[in-house]
Each structure stands twice: as structure tokens, then as C-alpha cells.
Amino acid sequence: MSPTTDLYKPLSDDFILPSNRDVGGEKHSDPDASCTYLCGNSLGPLSKSSERLVHEELDAWRHRAVEGHFSHPYNRPWTKITDHVHPLLAEVVGAKEKEVVCMGTLTTNLHLMMTSFYTPTPNRFKILCEAKAFPSDQYAFASQVLLHGYAPADAIIEVSPREGEFHLREEDILDIIDREGDTIALVLFSGVQYYTGQLFPMASITEKAKSKGCICGWDLAHGVGNVPLSLHDWDVDFAVWCTYKYLNSGPGGIAGLFIHEKWNDEKKPMQAGWWGHELSTRFAMPPTFQPIPGAQGFQQSNPSALTIASLLGSLQIYKSVGMMQPVRERSLKLTGALESFLKKSRYFVPLEQAIKHDSQGRLGFTIITPSDPNMRGSQLSLLFLPQGSEVMRNVFKSLNSYGVIGDKREPDVIRLTPAPLYGSLKDCEEGAAWLEKAFEEQEA
């Protein structure tokens, strides 16, 4: 059976997961077995391939020192090391190679892109985003509107779910763009919402935003490497992402951005740095900036070869398994399996019931991620009941003691993600079984 059909076998066996012992899973009967890692939405694990490539860069540094910029024992001279990453990154996000660049960090890239693409006028100055966006994005939006002399309360429109709901309805988002689009400068949602795991209909939101003359950007922190993307064909203006979540580049890894090629003439880097200068003359140190056309002209600094190497290792694994289509296919199966195991739990409360009867104080959990597989990536977000109690924290601690790693979001949510590259059906079974046990401990 192929790894896409045999769900017990990882799609790639290149990843190295911590053991139960490593993560404090002292109650697990097999301390040396791999832990149940359901946290790829937060930080992907190390792969052998990333480890090897980072070692090669250390070796290049040791043996070539500064010469490594031009002459490299593994044929990745540092001045051109990103050439190895860009084609793969472009494939992951559905872009042309010249439309992407790996550089910087997500929040910095978001500011950079907003400097070029958020150009408010007295009649069109608003930013449309989802309510409760990731805090860094909220801070970036607020500081950008302030920079232009607007008050966040006037300039930022947040779309909230309807009363008693957790997701945004597509029709509600499109409707707001229809009604208010003439005053909106920038529509910027996350591709996959970090808290609820909702996958937004990126193609239709982008299309609607464009039809009203708005710029449309995306924060793909939770989308890249998780769901298939077609940034070029969707006619997205720009996108930014980090690579340490689904793309497994390691803590604080190098980030990325996309700029549609149609902007090449009009949008030039406004915060230029030497690394965005044409490579052919960069080291002649000319006084005037001559940018590389497209996204790569937005580079500012000499990027870290070590973080590029670790990202490259993971991207090579994506390539070896056939890129996003098989990854998505397997992800749908695994997340569907985790969902059905969880729904069999004695403690599972259907969402409608949780909303209505929460006050009855029943111990349990519901799932706030959309149940429609087309409206989510690999993550499921569990909301613990009764809300505002200690249940979530206690269950989380208990899960850790069995070697189950998810991540908690205060006050009541635990996110569990069977990441398709290294996750398996066993992780889904164990995650659900240990969750049951954790609840039983709460009742004891």
C-alpha cells in the first residue's frame, strides 16, 4: 500500500520525533517510543534532511569561511543559496519562481508588504480582516493605520462570526466587501485561522475584493504547507507566511512572501537593502539601488544560510512526496479520522448543544473547527466545557503526561493537528484514547 493509502505509515519517514520520555510523557508505557506529536500547526519537527543540510552548512563555514559565499563544498554558495529554495517554495504556494522570496520573518514581511500595498486615501483607507486575528497581525494593522494618521477604530473593520457561531460565513464576508468595499484599501485575512482552524475561501474572497478595487493580501502562516494554494491564479496581490509551522524549518525559521508579477513595474521596494539589488552588480557596491524585478527585489539583508538549509530540507521532502496534492489528500483522511475518533468519546458534546447547554456545567469538549473538510486544514480545535473552568488546563497537563503534544490557547481551547507528512492514524487513535483517559482522571 502506498503511504497515501496506508495511514499507519508516515508519508515521509524522514522526520525525527521526540520520544515520550523527552516530552515528559512519564505515564506512557513505552518511554522510548515517539511521542504523539499533534502540534505541527505550531512548530514542525526536525527532519533528517534538514539536520543533514544544516550540518553541511556548518561544514562549509568551517572549511571555507567567507569564501563560502562564492565557493561552497555542497554547491550552495551563500550568495545564491535561495535559488535552491525558491522553485520549491513557488510550487508549494502556487506561484511563479520570481513571485516568491524566502526572507526575514512573518511580521516584518507583513509590515514590508503593507508599506507598499496599504496606500490609503481619504475615501478608501480601511482594512478588512477577521475578528480575533493572530495578535501580531492585529498589532501590525493597528500600527500601520496609525502611521497613516487614522484611528484603528475607524480604519479597521473586523468580521465576526454570527451570534452563537464560531466560523465566518463566506456569504457574510463577501457581503461586507460588497457593501463597504469602496472604502476598503486592503482585505487581509489569514488563509487558515490559527484559533479555529477555519480555511477561508481564498479564491472567492480575493475575487470579490478585486471586483471592488481593493488590494487583497493573505497571511498564510497556517496555510502554507497545510493546504494547496494557487496564489498566482487566484490573482492574489501579496501574501506572507512563516515556515516553522507546517513547513518544518525550525524555531524562528526564515519566512517568505509572494508578490503577484503584475505589480512588478508599479511596486518597487520602499525599504531597500543591498540583498534586493541585482546580484550581478551587488558586490561592486554601487551607490544606487537597482532592484531584482519582482518579489526578490524586496530582500534587505544577507539571509541566514543555516535557516535556509533547514527550510530546504523540509521542502525537498515535500517535493519527494509529490507536493501539496498527496499531502492534502492524506490530510483530509487523517483529520477526518481524528474527528470521528473524538466524536465517539463519552465526553464529546455536539457544537449546537455546547452553545445552548454550556451553563449546565457538563464536563466535556466540543469541536469548533468546521466539520466540512473543505473548510479546514489539518487542525482541529477543541473547546473544553464548562468554559472558563480549569478543565482545559488539567486535560492538557494530563495529555502531556501520556506523551500527547498539542497546544493550548487560553482560555478553553486545545489544538490538535495530525500533520500529514509525519502524522499517522496511530497518532489520531492515541490522541483520542489519551484524551478519554484525561477526562476520566478529571472525574475521579
Distance, in Å, from the CA atom of 148 to the CA atom of 143, rounded to the nearest integer, reads 9
| 12 assigned ligand-binding residue | no
Distance, in Å, from the CA atom of 326 to the CA atom of 310, rounded to the nearest integer, reads 22
**Please, what is the angle between helix 82-93 and helix 305-320, to 10°?**
50
| 302 assigned ligand-binding residue | yes
Q: Residue from 221, 311, 338, 419 that binds ligand PLP (CB under 6 A)?
A: 221
Number of residues that bind ligand PLP (CB under 6 A): 12
- By CB under 6 A, which span of 44-52, 151-159, 166-174, 214-222 interacts with ligand PLP? 214-222
**x/- binding map, residues 239-258, to ligand PLP, per CB under 6 A?**
---x----------------
Close Cβ partners of 387 (under 8 Å, ≥ 6 residues apart): 358, 411, 412
Q: How far is the CB of 70 from ligand PLP (least distance, A)?
A: 31
| 186 assigned ligand-binding residue | no
Q: How far is the CB of 333 from ligand PLP (least distance, A)?
A: 24
Closer residue to ligand PLP (CB): 12 or 190: 190
Distance, in Å, from the CA atom of 402 to the CA atom of 21, rounded to the nearest integer, reads 9
| CA pseudo-torsion sign 106, 233, 192, 205 | positive
| 135 assigned ligand-binding residue | yes
Binding of ligand PLP by 222 (CB under 6 A): yes
Q: How far is the CB of 357 from ligand PLP (least distance, A)?
A: 32
| 32 assigned ligand-binding residue | no
**Please, what is the angle between helix 324-343 and helix 425-443, to 10°?**
30
Q: How far is the CB of 244 from ligand PLP (least distance, A)?
A: 7
Q: What are phi and psi of 396, to 5 degrees?
A: -60, -45
Closer residue to ligand PLP (CB): 221 or 337: 221
Binding of ligand PLP by 190 (CB under 6 A): yes
Closer residue to ligand PLP (CB): 58 or 131: 131
Q: How far is the CB of 111 from ligand PLP (least distance, A)?
A: 10
Distance, in Å, from the CA atom of 344 to the CA atom of 335, rounded to the nearest integer, reads 14
Kind and range of the H or E element at 324? helix 324-343
| 106 assigned ligand-binding residue | yes
Q: Which of residues 93-122 bind ligand PLP (CB under 6 A)?
A: 105-107
CA angle at 152 for the pair 146 and 154, rounded to the nearest 5°: 120
Q: Check if the beta carbon of residue 361 is closer than 8 Å to that of residue 336.
A: no
| 136 assigned ligand-binding residue | yes
Q: Which of residues 394-433 bind ligand PLP (CB under 6 A)?
A: none
| CA pseudo-torsion sign 332, 333, 336, 342 | negative
Distance, in Å, from the CA atom of 55 to the CA atom of 75, rounded to the nearest integer, reads 14
Binding of ligand PLP by 192 (CB under 6 A): no
Closer residue to ligand PLP (CB): 190 or 198: 190
Label residue 302 left, alpha or beta by phi (over 0 means left) and psi (-120 to 50 means alpha).
beta
Binding of ligand PLP by 130 (CB under 6 A): no
| 233 assigned ligand-binding residue | no
| 244 assigned ligand-binding residue | yes
Distance, in Å, from the CA atom of 15 to the CA atom of 48, rounded to the nearest integer, reads 6
Q: Residue from 14, 99, 137, 427 that binds ligand PLP (CB under 6 A)?
A: 137
Q: Check if the beta carbon of residue 335 is closer than 8 Å to that of residue 376.
A: yes
Q: Check if the beta carbon of residue 81 is closer than 8 Å to that of residue 107.
A: no
Instruction: Give the residues lining the site for ligand PLP (CB under 6 A).
Output: 105-107, 134, 136-137, 190, 194, 219, 221-222, 242
Give the annotated binding-site residues: 106-107, 134-137, 190, 219, 222, 244, 274, 302
Could you tell me which residues are annotated as the binding site for pyridoxal 5'-phosphate? 106-107, 134-137, 190, 219, 222, 244, 274, 302
